[in-house]
A and B are shown apart, each in its own frame.
Chain A
């Protein structure tokens, strides 16, 4: 069952996922860019899968290609899910 999409829930999912890709927890903020966090395209593809498994929202390559910051990713999920 897909979980309800709230900003708080999505933020928690994203914040918990990023350390799996080697990101320091302390560096994660909404404004942080994936470039600065050293999160690459494979990491973003995996993050998309985690989001899809959890919320049933499929993020396409085109959409994911445009996001720059952690906040962008959270906003995209909320936008796609509503």
Chain B
């Protein structure tokens, strides 16, 4: 089955970094894109401008994924962009790193509450129009951290491993309706999130000996969102220069 003509993609946390690259990549593939942001309006507007200049369709959508009504957000996007959200990319994420002995309840709650819970809520709500259309793509941005250890990130690892588990089960639940649910697990990607890390040290442990780019992650998302990936569901695609190999 091929993508309905008026299909819209929602990318959460698309004002910068990986999300911004995903928004541009999906737009280049013909999706009308809702570019969600929380605080960086200028970043979201820049992504929209780049998409429009390349001949695509996009709109900046302000929403904090940790609060608010997912159904209302999806309805607003449908009204603004003229079609149902048939691709949902749960990308918004934060890190609050600390060794477990020093990790506060707040660090835990913020990371689970931003990286995992909103992905569940938005997926549940977006599945409605997808099931109706007999077409849908849900892509959760996980991480190599989760499936594997990374000292200082127990909260983040729990959220990302949770995303992968959720991905598999929801994929099995809705596969018969033409809806695929997959995860993409980036390795060490050059964005604001990783800007303060000791790049040289980390890169030594990556088989590819370099950081990845947001565009390389976006290419994987673009594939999973495409008609060509219609039989790919419940899987996790690692984009990590061999880190998890």
Q: Which residues of A contact B (CB under 8 A)?
A: 42, 46, 49
- Please classify the interface of chain A as helix (H, G, I), strand (E, B), loop, or mixed, using the class held by over half of its residues: helix
- Contact across chains for A49 and B177 when beta carbons are under 8 A apart: no
Residues of B within 8 A of A46 (CB): 131, 177
Interface residues of B (CB under 8 A from A): 128, 131-132, 173-174, 176-177
Residues of B near A42 (CB, < 8 A) are 173-174, 176-177
A80 to B14, CA, bound (A): 41
9 CB-based A-B contacts, threshold 8 Å: A42-B173, A42-B174, A42-B176, A42-B177, A46-B131, A46-B177, A49-B128, A49-B131, A49-B132
Q: Give the chain A neighbours of B174 by CB distance below 8 A.
A: 42
Docked pose: A49 CA to B177 CA in angstroms: 14
Residue of A with least CB distance to B175: A42
Question: In whole angstroms, how far apart are the Cα atoms of A70 and B37 in the complex?
Answer: 45
Bound state CA distance, A42 and B132, in angstroms? 12
Query: Closest residue of chain B to A46, judged by CB?
Result: B131
Q: Chain B: which residue is nearest A49 at the CB level?
A: B128
Q: How far is the CA of A46 from the CA of B177 in the complex (A)?
A: 10
Determine how close the nearest CB of chain A comes to the CB of B195; give it in whole angstroms: 43
Bound state CA distance, A42 and B174, in angstroms? 8
Beta-carbon nearest neighbor of B131 in chain A: A46
Give Cα distance in the complex from A45 to B190, angstroms: 42
The answer for the CA separation of A42 and B128 in the assembled complex, in Å, is: 11
- The answer for the CA separation of A46 and B128 in the assembled complex, in Å, is 8
Chain B nearest CB: distance from A79 CB in Å?
A: 24
User: Which residues of A sit under 8 angstroms from B128, Cβ to Cβ?
Assistant: 49
Please measure, in the bound complex, the distance between the C-alpha atom of A42 and the C-alpha atom of B177, giving whole angstroms: 9
Neighbouring A residues of B177 by C-beta, 8 Å? 42, 46
The residue on A at minimum CB distance from B134 is A20
State A64–B132 Cα separation when bound (angstroms): 19
Residue of A nearest to B132 (CB): A49
A49 to B125, CA, bound (A): 11
Nearest residue, chain A, Cβ from B173: A42
A49 partner residues in chain B, CB cutoff 8 A: 128, 131-132
Q: Give 6 A-B pairs besides A42-B176, A42-B177, A46-B177 with Cβ atoms closer than 8 angstroms.
A: A42-B173, A42-B174, A46-B131, A49-B128, A49-B131, A49-B132
When C-beta atoms are compared, the residue in chain B nearest to A22 turns out to be B176
Name the distance in Å between B233's Cβ and chain A's nearest Cβ: 14
Residues of A within 8 A of B173 (CB): 42
Instruction: A46 to B133: give the CA distance in the assembly, Å.
Output: 12
Cα A42 to Cα B127 in complex, Å, equals: 12
Alpha-carbon distance between A46 and B173 when the two chains are bound, in angstroms: 12
Nearest CB of A to B132, in Å: 7
